Amino acid sequence: MLIIFDCDGVLIDSEIIAAEVNSEILREYGYDITAAEMNSRFVGLTGPQIVAIIEEELGRSLPEDFKDRADDEIDARLKAVKAIAGIHDLLDALDWPRCICSNSSTRRLKLSLQAAGLYDRFKPYIFSAPEIGSKRGKPAPDVFLHAAETFKVEPRQVVVIEDSVPGVTGAVAAGMRVIGFTGGLHTWAGHGEALMDAGAETIVRRLREVGPVVEAFRAWNGLDA
């Protein structure tokens, strides 16, 4: 069996950071959006996917400096990012192989995971969807299938913990079982319902609930060890 974690919003409280930075800068450029709206609309998508949607709605391209400004400010704030409460205890308790599948870049993943004290708990099994295989980000299932192939397990033997609709969609498309997570600071009203609609089998608000849910999955439907 394999446990796959998303990173942003599941392992570390970084989604709220990105939302705050992007909304601040976008408002300067005439796109009126709050951090909460950034989260409810765009959480889980790649940067290019988000930009494409915003530019279509604006009817024009964003300034050339948008990406660099946002990246620099997010990087600065990520140096103080915190791990989601309970993740170290969960990792101590899990007996199964684990990895990370994320839409973030390898550089950003290393920066944020090191800041939160989690990098060494997953390396080298930290997979950036835009940088492996087909280079297609979630909601494509590719990064999840890449992880399963790396660990030589069948998709039906994999449990994924995800906080975003694109992530849940991709994991379900890969044939994996999904636990939706709503315990990050970026969560919003209707978050859990959106994850269930996308295919998550259950929702947890605390990471300590993940272990019992995985055990229940094994008992109910024959997850192989």
Report the alpha-carbon distance of residue 168 to residue 77 in Å, rounded.
27
Where do the DSSP E strands lie in the chain? 2-5, 98-102, 126-128, 158-162, 177-181, 202-204
Task: Flag whether pLDDT at 74 surpasses 70.
Answer: yes
**Residue 224 pLDDT grade (very low, low, confident, very high; cuts 50, 70, 90):** low
Domains of the chain: 2-13+82-221 (3.40.50.1000), 15-78 (1.10.150.240)
Helix, coil or strand: residue 177: strand
What is the structure's pLDDT at 79? Answer: 92
Using the predicted structure, report yes or no on whether residue 190 has a pLDDT greater than 90. Answer: yes
pLDDT classification of 221: cutoffs 50, 70, 90: low
Cβ(159)–Cβ(1) below 8 Å: yes
**pLDDT above 80 (res 119):** yes
- Mean pLDDT, residues 104-117: 96
pLDDT digits (tens, 9 = 90+) for 129-141: 999 989 999 999 9
- pLDDT at residue 47, as a whole number: 86
**What pLDDT is attached to residue 183?**
95
